Amino acid sequence: MKEKKITYALDTSSRFYPIFNTKKDQSLFRYSVIMKDDINVDVLRDSANATLRRFHSMSVKLKAGYAWHYFEHIDTELPIFEFDNTVLSPIDRKKNNGHNIRVSYLGKMIVVDFFHAVCDGSGAMEFMKVLLANYAKGIGLNPNLEKVRDLDAMTSEEEVENYFHKVYEPIKLKEVNLKELLGDKPILLGGTLAHKSTDGVVIPQEDVKKLCKEYNTTVTGFLSGVLMYSIARTRETIEKKKSIVLMVPINLRNFFPSLTVRNFVHFIRIIVKPDPSYTLEDYIRMADEQLKDKAQKDKLARIISTLVRSERLFILKIAPLFLKIMISRFSRLFLKSRQTIIFSNMGLLSIDDSFGIDTVTFNLNVSKNATVNMAAITSNGKVSIAFTKSVTDTVVQNKTFNMLESLGCNVKRLEFLEEEE
């Protein structure tokens, strides 16, 4: 008798990722880890495959169903590639044995790209911690596993849950308010289109903590304010009817405790109409106030209910997948970005020096419409800030880095590899 294949429906926030994908652009994000010594490729291969077996819902192939894509579990080996210097180029699933996670190496660096439909940045962080723990043990280190999930455990039901459905409280169709999710008309950064590239800096964690205390805010509030102030200062003329719209991913696990490693994230918008009279302190204060106001448990619960109720609309259930893809590709010709920039603060990667790591960076994807995005992550006493861009312009990132330096941060430029050819 043929063994029944294990499948997973895409979670609530990821259903449209494969629909909007093209051959040239996938919804990817990246963790890059610079180790203290050169990478042992055989150990990395064994570690990556052991980690993939640990997280069952990440060892999957993308399949097309009648109305939606879905994932099918696969047991094929995850290949390891020599890093080709590209920035979030599409995963060739055929070369990658069907997998939607790509692992590469070069010198002292491990690069892991994730297809966003598989997991969000926080779920991927759990994967990375187990991967780095397996690798550290494989090269003879004794890593501190206090903040790492059990390396040898079987994947639990809680880890593969679509937790949006768990939190969902039924609402009527007339209560669905999708308009509130769209926000104001944003100032667009634009620029001369080019191949994707990345640039970044690393700052001592203590320097950032000191400034957060000075401005009475969080790391996310502080860096959001610095970023918006930098954007405002790069605009020679202010478009009065438009706002700086900063999209900030919120890890919903912080409000609704969950072990899921799938997507459980929501974006909120920090919206500010620029004014020449606004100081850096003003931008930080406005960012902090909006974060506190919009990232409240009751408001997030209402948004979750809106998203799940929308997902269950009859028209979406009966519309065939090929029609959804046709409409999405046609609409891409006319759609413009709904934000000025995305800023994702991944927070603390809770592993220490015992893992043999030096620096960790996180990169968001960009596109022709959303041309510049910024991400931050803290690890090993350092805050790394990385821009990804699909334009030649560097004015926003340079302004941001210079601003941080002028505030007293010990800013060290990261040595990234060449941009995509």
Q: What is the pairing mode between strands 80-82 and 101-106?
A: parallel
Q: What is the pairing mode between strands 244-251 and 265-272?
A: antiparallel
Mean pLDDT check: name the lowest of 76-80, 151-155, 221-225, 332-336.
332-336
Distance between first and last Cα of the chain? 49
Confidence band of 23 (pLDDT split at 50, 70, 90): confident
Rounded to an integer, what distance in angstroms lies between the CA atom of residue 224 and that of residue 204?
A: 18
Q: Average pLDDT, whole number, for the chain?
A: 91
If we measure between CA atoms, which residue out of 282, 277, 296 comes closest to residue 224? 282
pTM: 0.93
Whether the per-residue pLDDT at 181 is higher than 80: the answer is no
Rounded to an integer, what distance in angstroms lies between the CA atom of residue 349 and that of residue 365?
A: 20
Q: What is the pLDDT of residues 191-206, one digit of tens each?
A: 888 889 999 999 999 9
* CATH, domain range 177-413: 3.30.559.30
Q: What is the pLDDT of residues 78-112, one digit of tens each?
A: 999 999 989 999 999 999 999 999 999 999 999 99
Residue that wins the pLDDT comparison between 171 and 319: 319
Quickly list H helices, 139-191. 163-167
Asked whether the beta carbons of 371 and 191 are under 8 A apart, the reply is: yes
Give the domain ranges of the chain: 7-167, 177-413
Q: What is the pLDDT of residues 122-134, one digit of tens each?
A: 999 999 999 999 9
Asked whether the beta carbons of 266 and 253 are under 8 A apart, the reply is: no
Whether the per-residue pLDDT at 420 is higher than 50: the answer is no
> What percentage of the chain has pLDDT greater than the value 90?
72
State mean pLDDT over 307-317: 84
Task: Decide whether 7-167 matches 177-413 in CATH topology.
Answer: yes
Whether the per-residue pLDDT at 174 is higher than 80: the answer is no
- How many CB atoms are located within 10 Å of the residue 179 CB? 7
Amino acid 120: pLDDT: 96
Pair of tokens at residue 67? 């109305």
Fold exhibited by the domain 7-167: Chloramphenicol Acetyltransferase (3.30.559)
